[in-house]
Amino acid sequence: MKSVLFTAVGVLAITATFAQGRTDFPMKPEMTEIWDPEISVVTPGATPQDAPADAIVLFDGKVIASEWTNDAGAEPGWKVADGCVTVVKGSGVIKTKRQFNDFQLHIEWRTPAEVVGESQGRGNSGIFLQGLYELQVLDNYNNRTYRNGQAGSFYKQYPPLVNVCKGPGVWQVYDVIYTAPRFNANGTYFTPPTVTVLQNGVLVQNHVALRGPTEYIGIPEYFEKPHGAGPIILQDHGNPVSYRNIWIREL
Amino acid sequence: MKSVLFTAVGVLAITATFAQGRTDFPMKPEMTEIWDPEISVVTPGATPQDAPADAIVLFDGKVIASEWTNDAGAEPGWKVADGCVTVVKGSGVIKTKRQFNDFQLHIEWRTPAEVVGESQGRGNSGIFLQGLYELQVLDNYNNRTYRNGQAGSFYKQYPPLVNVCKGPGVWQVYDVIYTAPRFNANGTYFTPPTVTVLQNGVLVQNHVALRGPTEYIGIPEYFEKPHGAGPIILQDHGNPVSYRNIWIREL
Amino acid sequence: MKSVLFTAVGVLAITATFAQGRTDFPMKPEMTEIWDPEISVVTPGATPQDAPADAIVLFDGKVIASEWTNDAGAEPGWKVADGCVTVVKGSGVIKTKRQFNDFQLHIEWRTPAEVVGESQGRGNSGIFLQGLYELQVLDNYNNRTYRNGQAGSFYKQYPPLVNVCKGPGVWQVYDVIYTAPRFNANGTYFTPPTVTVLQNGVLVQNHVALRGPTEYIGIPEYFEKPHGAGPIILQDHGNPVSYRNIWIREL
Amino acid sequence: MKSVLFTAVGVLAITATFAQGRTDFPMKPEMTEIWDPEISVVTPGATPQDAPADAIVLFDGKVIASEWTNDAGAEPGWKVADGCVTVVKGSGVIKTKRQFNDFQLHIEWRTPAEVVGESQGRGNSGIFLQGLYELQVLDNYNNRTYRNGQAGSFYKQYPPLVNVCKGPGVWQVYDVIYTAPRFNANGTYFTPPTVTVLQNGVLVQNHVALRGPTEYIGIPEYFEKPHGAGPIILQDHGNPVSYRNIWIREL
């Protein structure tokens, strides 16, 4: 990068006043090269949506029971067909057998093509990170609801930056970068969970700091019990929402 | 989300001790709904790589001179052909006419199919955010260099989390979420620039805080002059690196 | 510091694995010395409680009207006597004529020697930073109230780490380090206000990030209008609380 | 605090646009009171410089060997007299037997009344937090040195905000609020150490994030080995600097 940088920022550099290092002891370029340890190689997927080599594929479109259970630890009651898994009303959540801390998650979802209900009643499901923090799944295409409860929100904590929903029956994508909380000895957060989310390639959550586990009622800020790794949980809210191409990378 | 959440986190909830709100004054679910202002609607692209409706398309594969100049403000000397723009050695940087603060940037790049040189000499270019902070572009497929100077690094500041490079002649993708610095009155950072980068869909920079403008020599931490919005600058390092499908969303 | 450091951390250094700089290009100690600009000299007070030379003395025990007004901009109705200023019930708040952004504040306060009332009714006043964020003043010596409303709390946002109150009629000290919020264009916080507070020399708030302006009712997190510099406001809550030795340093 | 707040911020409130909660479901004040768990009571010292009841007194002016050793684990070679402990040249560091994580530290120090030497050679000592991070002690009263090496600096990392030194032979005070780093599995910082320092009651370090263990030569940012709790170490730099009234509170 050496040859052109100085031209590029030349105008700024002329007017800038730097805190001066000692000009009588100049550094050499090599002094700021760090060679070890070597960075690990990971083979990327064919497209950014495809799982890279170091990802755990949580659902490849065919088998759900290898990586997921229902809430009682038994085989999920959801329906697998046509390369996706779909909520069966009343069967309850499904959750990963594995537990995760910090991770990058890719997940694709589709609300029903047949539009039924309104506000929170239309195409409602949700993705609980570490089993506690809900990234809302909802059909918000021409369907108004409260801003902190719509698709792309962390339910009742952070509304999405924009409503970038595709329509009913169309596949959508969440890419999630999640950093788990660290705890103080007394059970409060030392650092809260932080999350960045892209929906259909568009930023909807920009490194937000969650307040506490998702609460339907009340203020979610007063968690007094540390938690460790947790599963990904997909919610049965009674609507036949579908999921596919779910992969995760532990960070 | 109301019906199933309590089941989902039931086991945890039983053992958790919350700091108690007054149980004699229970809240209602509606009290934590926020309806206004309504979230703006943005139509996403067909795939996450396609520009959404609110993006500025900086290069669509055809015309470079509408949005870019060379360092002297004249028409770029780079070559546009086959849907991409390619460095012409010695023609210098190209930079956007527009200036940006916080943004989400999508940019695709390709190092030369013909492998020439090694370490920093192979397929070297770079993307300067706000004209000052270099996200390295380099052919690091089977090409070792210093860890803080390889593709996906912020040059001499942050190595990438993994080396997820595709090979020479293959298109690669950067998705960048950039928050510009804010300054104190004395010209030091009040908050430093922070950046998250996905390379080929894989996280390589996780909300890192930059130390200062990229420096080839010395320590990049002592910037004493505030800067405002700045351009995207693409570097001519002498190698025929190509770019395509460049779009940006102001945040 | 050079001669003994290596002995001091010798045991740790032996087992540590550092990311290596190039050993063939060693640095010299002088390369990391920064000489300019020279640090400004400030003459400290005789004790840490005394105003240093660069402080604005907001109240020296004698005159209140030079730096303070009541809420209507007229002369404060509080009583100045015996080197302190005391709330006169019903006269309303007093506030500084000056407006502040980031600052270090020293303020001493005393709740009435005669104990009257309980919970929030005993020795209640408050210090509003930038006129919006209340650091609670209350007699909590053998007087229980809700944890997020007691002395040393940011009212209904952050309880103090410990209850380090002195008794009724005894002077107490707050030392406050306050960083004002910065705002996004849409009026939300880019960075929230952050505050550290020592009460009687003991840490009671450790760099907490405020949620929004203090609210008596509801959730204080949804401020949608940027604010600039603001005054220090002292509250008339109906109890004859006294203040003295108030000084502030702009940061 | 309820009665006067609304007056105080009335002007601002009129022009502010809040994100609206549902006005048809108003909250009550009691809903945001948190009563449990009760905040612990700590008896403060007589002045803010005096140890509160929950502090560990590391040096009370009389005995040094109960809480401190030299670097070899034997009795310190420094001299205790007149209520303080003084560096004996060549005897090496002294360090606490106890190990600390997050803490609040109060320590008083005095450089020699007889002025000898200049720059780093005058009244030099240092306080190593967790045995690794040096808060510089130096006589910088009319004694210029590099800004990132003077009293109140974190050596070669952060200069003090101001030079608030008292003269040779005069006691000075540091109040330090230290949060230990947390580590990633690979040995890098998850969160770096952060520190706030008041010197003689004046803010000199405002929640700075340390780069790594203090280095005399080179860049202190590439620590690759987690460390746990560590001692307070006082440096023998060859000058007869004195210390007294040292107490610490674990956070």
Same structural domain, B3 and B122: no
> How far is it, in rounded angstroms, from Cα A57 to Cα A246?
6
Same structural domain, D64 and D141: yes
D7 contacts C71? CB cut-off 8 A: yes
Residues C1-55 pLDDT 10s: 333 333 323 233 333 344 557 889 999 999 999 999 999 999 999 999 999 999 9
Q: For residue B222, what pLDDT is reported?
A: 60
Same structural domain, C19 and C46: no
Chains that touch D (3 or more CB pairs under 8 A): A, B, C
Same structural domain, A16 and A99: no
List beta partners, residue D46.
Answer: none
D223 contacts C16? CB cut-off 8 A: yes
Encoded amino acid at D49, one letter:
Q
Q: For residue C16, what pLDDT is reported?
A: 35
Angle at D235 between CA D231 and CA D237, to 5 degrees: 165
Query: Which chain A residues touch C34 with a CB distance below 8 Å?
Result: 19-21
Q: For residue D22, what pLDDT is reported?
A: 83
Averaged pLDDT, A184-206: 95
Q: For residue D186, what pLDDT is reported?
A: 84
> How far is it, in rounded angstroms, from Cα A170 to Cα D130?
55
Is a pLDDT exceeding 80 seen at residue A180?
yes
Averaged pLDDT, C222-247: 92
Q: For residue B19, what pLDDT is reported?
A: 54
Same structural domain, B23 and B58: no
CB nearest B182 (choices: C19, C34, C190):
C190
> How far is it, in rounded angstroms, from Cα A155 to Cα A160?
10
Same structural domain, B33 and B90: no
> How far is it, in rounded angstroms, from Cα A89 to Cα A108?
20
C48 contacts D200? CB cut-off 8 A: yes
Q: For residue B224, what pLDDT is reported?
A: 64
- Prior bond of A37 cis (ω within 30°): yes
Q: For residue C224, what pLDDT is reported?
A: 64
Work out how many domains chain B is built from and give that number: 2
Which residues neighbour A112 within 8 Å (Cβ) at sequence distance 6 or greater? A123, A139, A168, A169, A239, A240, A241
State residue D126 phi and psi, 5-degree precision.
Answer: -175, 155
Identify which of B104, B116, D155, D141 has the alpha carbon closest to the alpha carbon of residue A202. B104
CB nearest A222 (choices: D34, D147, D191):
D34
Same structural domain, C96 and C26: no
A166 contacts B235? CB cut-off 8 A: no
Encoded amino acid at C149, one letter:
G
> How far is it, in rounded angstroms, from Cα D58 to Cα D178?
16
List beta partners, residue D110.
Answer: D242
B235 contacts A1? CB cut-off 8 A: yes
Residues B59-110 pLDDT 10s: 999 999 999 999 999 999 999 999 999 999 999 999 999 999 999 999 999 9
Token look-up 């290898």 returns A66
Structure tokens at D208: 């700075």
Same structural domain, A182 and A65: yes
Q: Which helix (H) or strand (E) holds C206?
A: strand C202-209
Chains that touch A (3 or more CB pairs under 8 A): B, C, D
DSSP string of D119-166, one letter each residue: GGGSS-EEEEETTTEEEEE---TT----GGGSTTSBTTTB--SSB---
Mutate to test the interface with D, among B18, B22, B154 (most CBs of D within 10 A): B22
Query: In Å, how far are B149, B151, B245, C128 from B175, measured between CA atoms?
Result: 19, 13, 11, 43
Averaged pLDDT, A146-172: 97
CB nearest B4 (choices: A93, A120, A207):
A93
Q: For residue B74, what pLDDT is reported?
A: 98
Averaged pLDDT, B13-31: 70
Task: Outline where chain B has alpha helix (H).
Answer: 2-8, 10-15
* C-alpha distance from B81 to closest chain A C-alpha (Å): 23
Q: Which of A198-202, C11-15, C178-182, C190-194 has the lowest mean pLDDT?
A: C11-15
Structure tokens at A204: 């909807």
Same structural domain, A87 and A128: yes
Cα torsion through B224, B230, B234, B238, rounded to 10 = -40
Residue C108, SS3 per DSSP: strand
Q: For residue B11, what pLDDT is reported?
A: 31
Averaged pLDDT, C124-153: 98
Is a pLDDT exceeding 60 seen at residue A18?
no
Which residues neighbour B106 within 8 Å (Cβ) at sequence distance 6 or greater? A201, B49, B51, B55, B173, B174, B175, B176, B245, B246, B247, B248
Between residues D16 and B197, the one the model is more confident about: B197
Mean pLDDT, chain D cut into blocks of 10 residues (251 residues total): 32 40 90 93 98 98 98 98 98 98 98 97 98 98 97 97 98 98 91 97 97 90 80 98 98 97
Domain range holding A26? 1-39
Query: Which chain C residues touch B32 with a CB distance below 8 Å?
Result: 219
Chains that touch C (3 or more CB pairs under 8 A): A, B, D
Angle at B155 between CA B152 and CA B161, to 5 degrees: 35
* C-alpha distance from D77 to closest chain B C-alpha (Å): 39
Q: For residue D6, what pLDDT is reported?
A: 31
- Kindly report whether the global pTM for this prediction surpasses the value 0.90: yes
Q: For residue A2, what pLDDT is reported?
A: 35
Residues B133-167 pLDDT 10s: 999 999 999 999 999 999 999 999 999 999 999 99
Averaged pLDDT, C65-94: 98
Query: Which chain B residues touch D25 with a CB distance below 8 Å?
Result: 28, 30-31, 33
Find, in chain B, the residue whose alpha carbon is nearest to that of C33.
Answer: B219
Token look-up 């009290």 returns B31
Same structural domain, B95 and B186: yes
Residue A169 DSSP class = T
Q: How confident is the model at residue C219 (pLDDT cuts 50, 70, 90)?
A: confident
Same structural domain, C18 and C104: no
Mean pLDDT of chain C: 91
CB nearest A237 (choices: B3, B12, B39):
B3
> String of b and e for B149-186 (b: at least 16 CB within 10 Å)?
bbbbbbbbbbbbbbbbbbebeeebbbbbbbbbbebeee
Query: Which chain B residues touch A214 with a CB distance below 8 Å?
Result: 1, 5
Q: For residue A5, what pLDDT is reported?
A: 31
Cα torsion through A75, A81, A85, A89, rounded to 10 = -80
B2 contacts A39? CB cut-off 8 A: no
Q: For residue B15, what pLDDT is reported?
A: 34
Q: Which of A137-151, B2-16, C89-103, D101-115 has the lowest mean pLDDT?
A: B2-16
Same structural domain, A178 and A149: yes
Residues B207-232 pLDDT 10s: 999 999 999 999 876 666 799 999 99
List beta partners, residue C178.
Answer: C103, C195
> String of b and e for C162-175 (b: at least 16 CB within 10 Å)?
bbbbbebeeebbbb
Residue A32, SS3 per DSSP: helix
C33 contacts A20? CB cut-off 8 A: no
Encoded amino acid at A220, one letter:
P
CATH number at residue B69: 2.60.120.560
Q: How confident is the model at residue C186 (pLDDT cuts 50, 70, 90)?
A: confident
Q: For residue D23, what pLDDT is reported?
A: 87
Query: Which chain D residues touch B148 with a CB distance below 8 Å?
Result: none
A36 contacts C21? CB cut-off 8 A: no
